[in-house]
Amino acid sequence: MSAEWLREGAAAWPDVDPGVVEALPATLLSEPADVPERWLALACVAGSAAAMRAFERRYLESVEGALRQRGLSDDERAEVLQRVRVRLFVAQRDGAAVVLHYAGDGRLGGLVRVIAVREAARLRSGIVPRALTPDDLGGRDLDLRVLDVRQQRLAKGAFERAAAGLTRRDRTILRLHYARGVSGPRLAKMYGVHRGTAARWLESARLSLLRRFLEEVETAVPNLARRERLRFDTWFRSNVELTLSRVFKTAA
């Protein structure tokens, strides 16, 4: 693996710590055609808040004008952009965030616009985005939605440990939202930030929790098969709201 393109990527985004990308698995670090695009996506997936801010400026802000031209209100635009974040960074394909399947050949900006326009149409038509399914994760077996009793106990323990390891701000935001029912706009007012910023904080906290959860699962079950990992991943997505509410109410 050549380190030259990694240095080039780091130079393109000087506000982002290059260590977050260098620490990623080597399988993700093949040299791309569009170095800045791939490097930024990798840093976002690695959990860099600075990278997410740069991504927002480079890609999401560019589609707000198009959404505004479609007559979407501020709240509707914030909802659409939130859906775009979920599609790119939460949804998985072949064990990796969807964004990593596009970033690196110059298509990412177009992908963001396509997703945003589609989600705007769904929002206006009243179509609720479907929940992530095994198909979104690269599998097609409905049995992926099910954990046996032993696996559910393991999942709940891993979830609790993952929640305990969050940063103070992430824990506070998730507790307010899930255990106390504080909405995104109310969070923004409480912290004195823009609604979009509060939405990014909330989604970043969810992503951090998911990464920690899967790390805890893989620590408890070394050499976890991909099929089994998908089971736990799907369990998390199906149970995150209920489990967060229970964990934080118990902690309180």
- Lowest mean pLDDT segment, chosen from 81-85, 107-111, 134-138, 245-249: 134-138
Q: How many CB atoms lie within 10 A of CB 129?
A: 13
- 102: phi then psi, degrees, rounded to nearest 5: -120, -35
Which residues does residue 92 pair with via DSSP β-bridges, in sequence order? Answer: 97
Is residue 193 in some structural domain? yes
Asked, for residue 64, whether it belongs to a domain, the answer is yes
In a domain, 121, yes or no: yes
Q: Is residue 137 part of a domain?
A: no
Among 38, 88, 42, 89, which residue's Cα sits nearest to residue 208?
A: 89
- HSE of 247, CA atoms in CB hemisphere, 13 A: 25
Q: What are phi and psi of 191, to 5 degrees?
A: -95, -5
Domain count, the chain: 2
Whether 223 maps to a domain, the answer reads yes
Asked if 153 and 217 sit in the same domain, the reply is yes
Question: 37 pLDDT exceeds 90?
Answer: yes
9 and 120 inside one domain? yes
Rounded to whole angstroms, what are the CA distances from 24 to 53, 84, 112, 180, 183? 20, 24, 24, 35, 34
Could you identify the residue written with the tokens 């993700």? Answer: 28
d(CA 211, CA 126): 31
Domain boundary among 125, 158, 175: 125
Residue 132 lies in a domain: no
Same domain, 160 and 100: no
Whether 130 is in a domain gets the answer no
Structural domain includes residue 99: yes
Are residue 47 and residue 17 in the same domain, yes or no?
yes
User: Where is the domain boundary, 60, 92, 125?
Assistant: 125
**Cα distances (Å, whole numbers) of residue 117 to 67, 69, 120:** 7, 11, 5
41 burial level (CB within 10 Å; 0-12, 13-18, 19+): buried
Same domain, 119 and 163: no
16 and 82 fall within a common domain:
yes
Q: Integer distance in angstroms from the first to the last C-alpha of the chain?
A: 48
How far is residue 187 from each of residues 76, 86, 180, 190, 238, measured CA to CA in Å?
Answer: 17, 19, 11, 5, 24
Q: Is the pLDDT of residue 134 over 80?
A: no
Return the pLDDT at 23: 86
Confidence band, pLDDT 50/70/90 cuts, at residue 146: low
Claim to verify: residue 13 and residue 97 sit in the same structural domain: yes
Task: Tell whether 117 and 172 lie within a shared domain.
Answer: no
Per-residue pLDDT at 133: 37
**Long-range contacts from 27-30, C-beta under 8 angstroms, 24+ separation:** 28/96, 28/100, 29/1, 30/1
* 178 & 238 share domain: yes
For residue 247, the enclosing domain spans: 142-251
Q: Do 120 and 191 belong together in one domain?
A: no
Query: 112 and 192 share a domain?
Result: no
pLDDT tens digits along 179-238: 777 777 888 888 888 888 888 888 888 888 888 898 899 899 888 777 777 778 777 776
Claim to verify: residue 109 and residue 24 sit in the same structural domain: yes
Mean pLDDT check: name the lowest of 8-17, 99-108, 173-182, 187-196: 173-182
The pLDDT confidence band at residue 38, using thresholds 50, 70 and 90, is very high
Q: What are phi and psi of 98, to 5 degrees?
A: -55, -35
Distance CA 26, CA 22 (A): 9
Three-state SS for 65-129 is HHHHHCCCCHHHHHHHHHHHHHHHHHCEECCEEHHHHCCCCCCHHHHHHHHHHHHHHHHHHCCCC
Domain end call among 79, 98, 125 = 125
Between the CA of residue 193 and those of 51, 166, 185, 187, 196, what are the distances in Å? 19, 21, 9, 8, 8
